[in-house]
Structure formats: C-alpha cells, structure tokens
A and B are shown apart, each in its own frame.
Chain A
Amino acid sequence: MATVSVRSPAADQARAAERRRRRRRSAWRRQLVALAFLSPWIIGFSVFYAYPILSSLYFSFTRYDILTDPVWVGLGNYEFMFTSDGRFWTAVRNTAWIVAVIVPLQIAFGIGAALVLTRVRRGLSFYRTVFFLPTMVPLVAAALGFVFLLNPGGPVNAVLRFLHLPEPLWFRDPVWAKPGLALMAMWMVGQTMIIFLAALLDVPRQLYEAADLEGAGPFQRFRHVTLPMISPVIFFSVVIGVINGFRYFTEAYVVSKSGDWDNPVGTPQDSLLFYTSHLYNQGFEGFHMGYAAALSWVMFLVIMACTLLLIRSSRRWVHYQGGFR
C-alpha cells in the first residue's frame, strides 16, 4: 500500500496508474472466472448449436447420403422444395392447419378452464390437479390411448352412436384424422391453463372494482380488464404454439403407425404428414441429408421470422404492467 503522507503530483499519478492497473487486472480475473463457469455452455453452444446450424447451411446446398461425399448442387434443394416437392406443400398445409386450429382453441379453452377455476373456492386444488393431470401423460402413451378411444368401434363412437350422431372413422379417415389430434391437444390443455390461471390471479382486484363502479357488465369486464391484463401470456402462448407446430411429430407418428407397422409416416393418405414428419422421412428414412438440411434451414428461418413478427406485432396488443402500451 502507498503511504498517505507524501503528496506530490508525481506520486498521485503513479498511484492512479497503479489503481488503474489493479482494476484492469481484477476485471481480467473476473472475465476469466466468468468464462470458466460458462465453459460447459460455451462448448455446448459451439458444438451443438453454432456448428450444426452453419454446417447444415452448407449441407443444404449439397446432395449427400452420408456414405459418399457431398456433391454441391447450389440452390437445387430449395428449388425442388418450392417447385416440385408436392409432399413438402402437403406438410406445410397440414402444419398450418394444426397450428391455426390448436393454438386458438387451446388458448380459448385454457382461459375458459382457468376462469372456471378462479370462480370455485372449495375444491380448487382438486379441480386444478384433475385439469392438469392429462398433460403429465407421456405423449406416446396419450397418442396410443387416443388411437384406442377414437378407433371406429371404440368408446367415443359408442357414445356418438348412443346419441344418434354421425360416427367418423377418425384416424382412418384423412378428413377426420387431424380433428382427432386436435381433440387430443384439447385434452392436454393443462399446461396452458395453469399459466393462464396464474395470470388471472395476478390481475389486481381494484381494476375489477373500478370497472364495476363504471357500470361494466361481466362481458365488458372480461374484454376491457381481463383480456388486456393477460395479453402477455396470450402472446407467449402464441409464440410457443407456433414453434411447437413445427416440432409436431410424435402424436402423428404414433397414430400413423398404429394401424400397421408398414404404414408410411403421414397415414392416412398424408393427412398427418407434418413438417417434421417430412424432414424425418427425407433425412432419416431416405437419407437425403442435403435435402433434409435445406428443410431444417427453412424451418429455422421461418421460426425466427415468426418470432420477430410476433414480437413486433405484440406492441400493438400486449399490455405490460407498469409501462404504457
């Protein structure tokens, strides 16, 4: 430590320089410590994200079957995808269908179920457990269960027959297969519901009281108080829902293969061919790795674009507490 008694400009300067040096050294040390703590993720990020995303960009410009070396084909894969691959467009249409139907339904149903839960006082934890329970069932098991429930001679159709309603063939019929999956998604709405329940309970009571004073009815209260207050959560659900649409695979795969093992992915008649199913078919059953890489890059770009778009549009309709707009 420098002594305090000496007070000359030169000594001041020297001391300031020493302090700077020490500060710089400790900043360096901090940086090194942080990097050491961060190292598992730095390796993980480079090996399992950065490298694959970049190299799949490269592979997407090649024809590659793993056994022989990749052959450069320029934009060939993308050209084929957009102009001549009919199944690509089928997969896109099916994925859009499932997102457009499941996301709004799950949000509406999730809010509805959560609203019911906010209004019962007794038995709340019982109801909450029951509503949440289906989401705990592993997807494969749930899908197998629904294959059984919705089989043409199964329990659901028995109920429909009892009520003299038409009995669809569900997963055997290309028209009814996707609605069958939507039904299953509604059964597994618990996750969405729990998030909405927390958001609903977070809405300050005073807002409702103020609305009551202004003479708002239940509908107006919901429209002008509840909805704006939970809009961040709606936004979150939409983003997650769109991304989940792209990874939609397991349910469809299990359902398609349930009739007969040899059924191609997407049975019946490609009505359950989703984006990831197509990617799986191309890459890991046909070993068209270049084409699969192109598919995954398009998926990457669309997900990024959707997320950005949703974030930008959210400024108009999402109200964050504490800020204006």
Chain B
Amino acid sequence: MTAISTPGARAGAVPRRRVPPAIRRRRLLLTVANHSVAIALSIMFLVPFAFIVSTALMTNQQMGSLSIWPSPFKWSNFTDLFEFFPFWRYAWNSLLYAGLGTVGVVLSGIPVAYALSRLRWRGRQVSFVLLLSTLMLPVQVTIVPLYIVFVRLGWIGSLKPLIIPLFFGDAFTIFLLRQFFLTIPQELSDAARVDGANDLQILLRVIVPLAKPAIAAVALFNFLYCWNDFFSPLLYAGNNPDTWTLAISLQQLTQLSRGILANLQMAASILFTLPVLVIFFLAQKVFVEGVTLTGVKG
C-alpha cells in the first residue's frame, strides 16, 4: 500500500485508477485525526517531564511563585545538590548492586537455561514448571525467613543480601534465555557434538555467540531492575546510610534535610533517571523486542 498522504507519488511507475477526490479527502481527514490523537497523547506523556525539568532549573524564590518557565535558569542546582548529600557514593552503591547483580544473573542463568532447553533429561518438565511458578512469586512472599537468615549471617546493612542471591539464578532471566535458546536449530549442536565437542564447549562456542542479543537484553533488564529497585535495598540496606543506593537516598532526601526544596529534589531525580534514559535511547530496539518477547511468548 502506498502512503495515504501521497496518492499520486507512484502514478508514473504503476498505472492505477485515480482515487476519487471524495475518498481522498476522507483519507486525509482520517490521517489528520489519527495524528492529532497521537500528538495529544504525546503531549500528555511529555508534559510531566517538562514540568520536572523546568522546576529543577528554578531559583528558590521562583518556586514560591506561580510561573512555569524558569527565569533565570539556575543550572547550579545540579551542582548545589552535591553539597546536600554524597551523590557519588550512592551512585557507586547503585552501580555495584546493578553491575555485580547483572554479572551474577547472566553467569548463573546461561547454563540453567541451556539445561532447560537443549539437554534431554528426566525431570526437565517438572523443573521448568517449578521455575515458572517462582516467576509468579513476588519477593514479599519469601522475605521474612530470608531477612532472618541475613540477620543471622550479619549481612543486614550491606549490599550482600542484594547481590549474592543473584548468583544463583533468576527465574525471569532463565525463562527468557530458555525461550531464545529453543529457537537455535538443534543441528548446530549435533554438528558440534559429532566434531567431538562436549556440552560445555557447545554452550560456550555455539549457543552463547548466537544468543548474544538475548543475553544483552536480559543483562539490560537486570541492570535497570537493580538500578530502580527500592523494596529490597530499603529492607536490607536502609538502616545503614553507607550502603544506600540512589533510589533509597533520593527518597531519604526529605529526611536528610527537612523541607528540602522541590527544585533540588527534581534535579536529583533527573540525575538518577538520566543514565536510564541514555541506556534506553542507545538500546531501544532491544527493549521493545524484549518486552514483546516476555508478553507474547509468556
């Protein structure tokens, strides 16, 4: 089909019946209507961003007034912020949690997904159903005994309870990788086996190179999940300011300095959100495809 707004564009190449003007007008109207709805929705989605950015640039006096546009732009809000709280230390903690957590999730997820998708053995179906059932369970269901265990181990007030469990497999990651591994033709493994490769070699030399996009997707999802995570860090690291992640510290800004002004708070939120948005724009395709994979194949 040709684009609706340029009906005559291909007239020279393919002889075709002219679209009657009445229908053309109707199509044009429909296009305009569709775009106006899309633009209205876009504005709805973007306006909160605009307000937050403009507030982050306002002076304290301007905060009290009703004006919406910052005048003058107070860029120094973004640097004043660092006097209020040790931003970089919290950023480092977030990075530790998200970075090490992602390494753990990927390292432990790959072999498990391999066993669940490309090896034939007794109990595979049962294991997969168990995995799926843990996929449904929120962390809150297991939190009480785990908290008690971590108290006994002396891990509360550190990042250990957040990171170490991720080295023992994450249901969502395993599930996604398994779905992807299933799409790799079995003949490739068989050929490698004939050449004398064992399963570990097949996994590392055949499967992993082919599954790079899927591995990148789960790594990204995990990184962002950890970066944004609030409940677990609050629980395990909340009582020790040295181990706060950015998500926690942002929320605690209200406590750190009572009545901190919204402009600084919004500036801090922007600094916290910015890396995520940068990652998103760099890897947009991975996201959209990954979300679709979880939704439709789930």
Residues on A close to B: CB < 8 A? 30-31, 33-35, 37-38, 40-41, 43-45, 47-49, 51-53, 55-56, 59, 66, 113, 116-117, 119-123, 127-134, 136-141, 144-146, 148-149, 151, 155, 158, 187, 191, 194-195, 198-199, 202, 233, 236, 239, 243, 246-247, 249-250, 253-254, 257-258, 260-261, 276, 279-280, 283-284, 289, 292-293, 296-297, 299-300, 303, 307
Per-residue A-contact encoding for B43-80, CB less than 8 Å = 1, 0 else: 01110110110010000000000101000000000000
| A59 and B52 in contact, given A34-B124, A138-B272 (Cβ under 8 angstroms) | no
Give the contacts of B181-230 with A (CB-CB under 8 A).
Answer: 199, 203, 224, 227-228, 230
Does A59 contact B121, Cβ atoms closer than 8 Å?
A: no
| A140 and B277 in contact, given A145-B266, A194-B288, A246-B138 (Cβ under 8 angstroms) | no
Closest to B112 in A: A41
Does A303 contact B137, Cβ atoms closer than 8 Å?
A: yes
Instruction: State the Cβ distance, B292 to closest chain A Cβ, in Å.
Output: 4
Size band of the interface chain B makes with A: 35 or more
Give the contacts of B245-298 with A (CB-CB under 8 A).
Answer: 247, 250-251, 254-255, 258, 262, 265-266, 269-270, 272-273, 276-277, 280, 284, 287-288, 291-292, 294-296, 298
- Among A66, A136, A198, A283, the residue within 8 A (CB) of B296 is A198
| A128 and B288 in contact, given A45-B169, A138-B276 (Cβ under 8 angstroms) | yes
Does B138 contact A53, Cβ atoms closer than 8 Å?
A: no
| A195 and B291 in contact, given A134-B45, A246-B138, A279-B140 (Cβ under 8 angstroms) | yes
| A283 and B168 in contact, given A145-B48, A233-B295, A236-B298 (Cβ under 8 angstroms) | no
Closest to A43 in B: B168
Q: Is B241 an interface residue (CB 8 A)?
A: no
Does B228 contact A138, Cβ atoms closer than 8 Å?
A: yes
Does B250 contact A136, Cβ atoms closer than 8 Å?
A: no
Does B141 contact A296, Cβ atoms closer than 8 Å?
A: yes
| B residues near A299, Cβ cutoff 8 Å | 138, 140-141
Instruction: State the Cβ distance, B150 to closest chain A Cβ, in Å.
Output: 11
| B residues near A33, Cβ cutoff 8 Å | 119, 121, 199
Q: Is B23 an interface residue (CB 8 A)?
A: no
Per-residue A-contact encoding for B96-109, CB less than 8 Å = 1, 0 else: 00000000000010
Does A293 contact B250, Cβ atoms closer than 8 Å?
A: no
Report the bound CA distance from A249 to B233 in whole Å.
13
